[in-house]
Structure 1
Amino acid sequence: MTTTEFSRLHISSANGVSTITIDNPPVNVLDVPLMSEIRRFLLSVRDDQNTRVLVFQSADPEFFIAHVDMTLIDEPHAFDDVAREAPEGLNPFQAFGELLREQPQVAIVKLAGLARGGGAEFISAADMAFAAEGQAGLAQCEALMGITPGGGATQYLSTRMTRGRTLEVILGADVISATTAERYGWINRALPAAELDGFVDRLARNIAALPEGVIAAAKKAVPMADLREGFRREHDAWAGLFARPAAENLIRGGLKAGAQTKGGERNLEALLRQLEV
């Protein structure tokens, strides 16, 4: 597969490391095309023995993946094709995270800016994540839209931090700094912004250079939690709230107020909190 097959991803590969740069202006919303391209890329390298490490980053230093595309409120069948390919018991967003989590390569996120909603869930599904101090932030902002996370956050976060901290992230619905995210266990490390690239690049190269079989053995020896029952509960909670009028009103109100624009996304939480249900 060549990089010309993607319009929202820029991919470079060297010495067993593939660097995937997400570029879906203006704020890298997780829309159907972006999700489809990431999914297609992951499947294309799944059996590639020469690709050992995947590093995800953003072309926009302010935004990694903003969140799921809010305009999908008007396109109820937009994910039909993705849903048909999802494993039984998973909705399309959960299946997207699980595809990354089950990837045989080591998946690393290099976070320089903001990641909310589905973008933050993508980070939680990765094997490792490193973020820039003073610049990066993560948030599960769904509660401000009248819903709960539906793409794995309730389960991924519960394996990384205490129940109290998970509820703080979901119900507090504020941006969590890189430093706090490290302390909570959401990411591996918060690093000075000037050191982020060098640290992640060195780590990725070192992992890719390990003897054959070591990565696979390590990922097998450090098992993933079985989250299937939790995913069912999460989907039921999310879907039940999404069907209520409050969710539609808040999502439409958010778009009207400037969500999914650079200005609106810089302080999305304040924008959403000002809306009336």
Structure 2
Amino acid sequence: MATMSAPMTSTATNPTSAQLRITCHSPQYWRVTINNPPLNVMGPEMVKEFQKVINALEADEQVRVVVFESAVEDYFLNHSDFTAKLEDLTSLPPGPTGLPLWPDFLVRLTRLPVCSIALIRGRATGNGSEITLACDMSFASREKTIISQWEVGVGMVAGGGPMARLPELIGRNRALEVLLSSEDLRADQAESYGYINRSIPDSELDAYVDGLATRIAKFDKWAIGQTKRLVNAKLPPDVEIGAGWDACIASLGRPAAQNGIKELMERGFHKPGDAENRLAYYLGVIPH
């Protein structure tokens, strides 16, 4: 497997203010870089940019592999932006699947006739875990990756479909452990559970993912798409993903979630520092 790559050339469609940047190794091999420092939180604008990404992937006849990565140190993709107005998200029109835009993106990514790979370095908290589960493959830095579905710990329900996806992937009991404990999982534990494909030493991660993506990008797109279609026969139906989103939005209106988020904010949540770095610990000590 090749580990060397040609220099990336940026597409001409990326505004300088974009939180997501599409770059191309070749017409067959794209990368999407998440860049919303300092914490890579996901607000309504990023959700809309994910729609632009999936629209571009679906419309392109040549692309065969897409890799999702981060430009922000210590964060792959983090939780939602709780400083944004909820109505700015809930007022967005649904996507082509009929689902709200975030679950719509995740469903379309999984069904896309293109191989999708998550290259995880840093925290994949909430939304970061959900895009990992939607991708076809995921590879994580052994030293730097933390994966978490943290929502129950603050009185919420996750909105991007982990309740539908995780049981098939890692089993019912482990899915409930991940979701109900709201604990942080290191890369080795996530690999042992089957949550991710592989935990790789950080110094080797980029070369491994690039080599794999370059290899798959050489293969026939029709064969890639048909293989995915047949493997996807056991995917959860869209209604299950939608139900999770509805429960998430409903949970945000409950006093338990509002009080839990307020308590976390008072301890430094949503800012660089200990509350973000050790979120699972703080979930265990805030009043409930």
Q: By the TM > 0.5 criterion, same fold?
A: yes
Equivalent of 1:43 in 40, 45, 55: 55
The structural deviation recorded for 1:142 is: 0.2
Unaligned runs of 5+ in 1: none
Query: Would the aligned equivalents of 1:132 and 1:191 in 2 still touch at CA under 8 Å?
Result: yes
TM-score, normalised to structure 2, is 0.88
Query: Would the aligned equivalents of 1:97 and 1:151 in 2 still touch at CA under 8 Å?
Result: yes
- Asked if residue 12 in structure 1 is aligned to residue 18 in structure 2, the reply is no
Query: Would the aligned equivalents of 1:66 and 1:265 in 2 still touch at CA under 8 Å?
Result: no
How many percent identity over aligned positions?
31
- Asked if residue 84 in structure 1 is aligned to residue 94 in structure 2, the reply is yes
Equivalent of 2:118 in 109, 123, 128: 109
Paired residue for 2:276? 265
Paired residue for 1:148? 157
The structural deviation recorded for 1:105 is: 1.5
What is the letter of the counterpart of residue 258 of structure 1? G
The structural deviation recorded for 1:271 is: 2.4
Query: Would the aligned equivalents of 1:21 and 1:59 in 2 still touch at CA under 8 Å?
Result: yes
The structural deviation recorded for 1:58 is: 0.4
Unaligned runs of 5+ in 2: 1-10
SS in 1 for 2:56: helix
Output aligned runs, 1:101-250, within 5 Å: 101-224=110-233, 225-250=235-260
CA-based RMSD of the aligned residues comes to 1.9
The structural deviation recorded for 1:34 is: 1.3
SS in 2 for 1:255: helix
Paired residue for 2:262? 252
Deviations 1:68-113 (A, max 9, x none): 11224xx23111453433633x344322321321222111010011
SS in 2 for 1:36: helix
Paired residue for 2:7? none
SS in 2 for 1:54: strand
Distance 1:221 1:84, change over 3 A: closer
- In 2, distance between residues paired with 1:124 and 1:205? 22
The structural deviation recorded for 1:198 is: 0.7
SS in 1 for 2:133: helix
SS in 2 for 1:138: strand
Equivalent of 2:46 in 7, 16, 34: 34
TM-score, normalised to structure 1, is 0.91
- In 1, distance between residues paired with 2:61 and 2:111? 16
Paired residue for 1:67? 79
